[in-house]
Amino acid sequence: MLYNIDTMYNDIQGKLVCDLGCGCGVLSVGTAMLDASLIVGIDIDDDALMIARRNIEEFELENVQLIKANISDTEFFGGKIFDTVIMNPPFGTKDKGIDMIFLHRALKLASTSVYSLHKSSTRQHIKKKAAEWGAEMTVLAELRFNLENTYKFHKHKSVDIAVDFMKFDCSSTTI
């Protein structure tokens, strides 16, 4: 995924990249290894950020910074300060609409492109909202995720979910 973002769209190497909802930092580490000039990983979860910090230290990466923040904090997030935003946001199954909050924030932060993973079942809704916000959405790949039961609210041992890998062109966003 990251390799394609870099080689097909030139949106990583030498770029200022935000990993929104970075979790344990997998996308941040991969982006750093593809020579982004700086990656800023943002998450609200202290435990996830601690793991991300360890991962960054293990690979001896100096071009990754981590910030604890809530994406809803409008004072912290202002303007198109990143070239590219990458994210694997919550799908909005438990917290309805959280995926769209992430996307809206990402489109406000990116000057060039946003790359994101979303449930395929939400494709038309996301395309419509992106168009309303002045962004053009393209599905780059259709994937399958097998999500294991990891949280108390999960009802099944595992669930197979159809997921779209999407690119949003931010050059004409109106938000």
Q: Domain for residue 155, yes or no?
A: yes
On average, the pLDDT of the chain sits at 91
- Tell me how many domains the chain contains: 1
Q: Domain for residue 174, yes or no?
A: no
* Angstrom distance (rounded) from CA 60 to CA 143: 31
- Quote the domain boundaries for residue 27: 2-169
Q: Which pLDDT tens digit goes with each residue over 82-133?
A: 999 999 987 655 667 789 999 999 999 999 999 999 999 999 999 999 999 9
> Tokens 């909005």 belong to which residue?
92
* Angstrom distance (rounded) from CA 35 to CA 45: 26
CATH, residue 13:
3.40.50.150
Query: CA end-to-end span of the chain, whole Å?
Result: 27
